[in-house]
Amino acid sequence: MRKKIVAGNWKMNLNAEEASNLVNGVCTALENIKLDESIHIVFGPPAPYLPLVKSMIPSILTETALVAAQNCHSEPKGAYTGEVAASMLSDIACDYVILGHSERRKYFKEDNELLNKKVQQALANDLEVIFCCGESLEQRNAGVLFDVVKDQLTAIFDLSEEDFKKVVIAYEPVWAIGTGVTASPEQAQEMHAYIRKLIAEQYSEAIAENTTILYGGSVKPANAVELFANADVDGGLVGGASLKDADFVDIIKAIV
């Protein structure tokens, strides 16, 4: 059975007090929700708050509530002022790292070659990867959405089978991120099924069936149940709604 995951990408938001209140609120609610071992709830705070968030997760939830960094560097160490190595994230007991997000691709010009190096560093340091892919509105309207996603996934398709098993895919159509516009359940299922087909072709049907594929892009309590009901949608990478404990908990309930 593949993992079901609800992950929150906080981006560059919240201060320490707000982060504490959010994690406390979510964890308190999680203690009253029946979650089995196949479900992971992931907090993705800004780097300075990773140790704080990790420390706030109660022992009863340490197998379920996990922490993701929003980035790591492509090199193991060196003169890269302001950067964070994957080994450093591992040192502070980080569980996941989010790579390939459209904002990193757009604002920091991250391409397939760089992302491949980042993924390799993450996996070498025992971090699981949430790897993002997705097309712009222009690309969807031009009918090249599948080609775009296929090209983005080539950044990880040289991984060994064992390494690929440590990767979660997050399909995030760029036109739905932070816009309030969400892909329809049918659009999400269509792309998720296509991604699973690509994985089967690259690796095997068994690996494809065991790969967790998340949907991201204006996920909120009002649409989570419909989205997560799709056969190939295994949860969500949540942006704005992950900053409010009540909203994030309602989205979590949609996966249970």
Distance CA 64, CA 105 (A): 30
Q: Are 135 and 173 in contact (CB under 8 A)?
A: yes
Q: What are phi and psi of 3, to 5 degrees?
A: -65, 145
SS3 of 125, please?
coil
Distance CA 121, CA 127 (A): 9
Helices assigned H by DSSP within the chain: 16-30, 50-56, 86-91, 102-107, 112-124, 137-141, 145-153, 161-164, 185-202, 205-210, 221-228, 245-253
Q: Does 172 participate in catalysis according to the annotation?
A: yes
Q: Which of 101, 103, 128, 135 is catalytic?
A: 101
Total residues belonging to the chain: 256
Q: Which of 103, 110, 128, 172 is catalytic?
A: 172
Residue 251's closest CA among 225, 230, 213, 215? 225
Active site residues: 101, 172
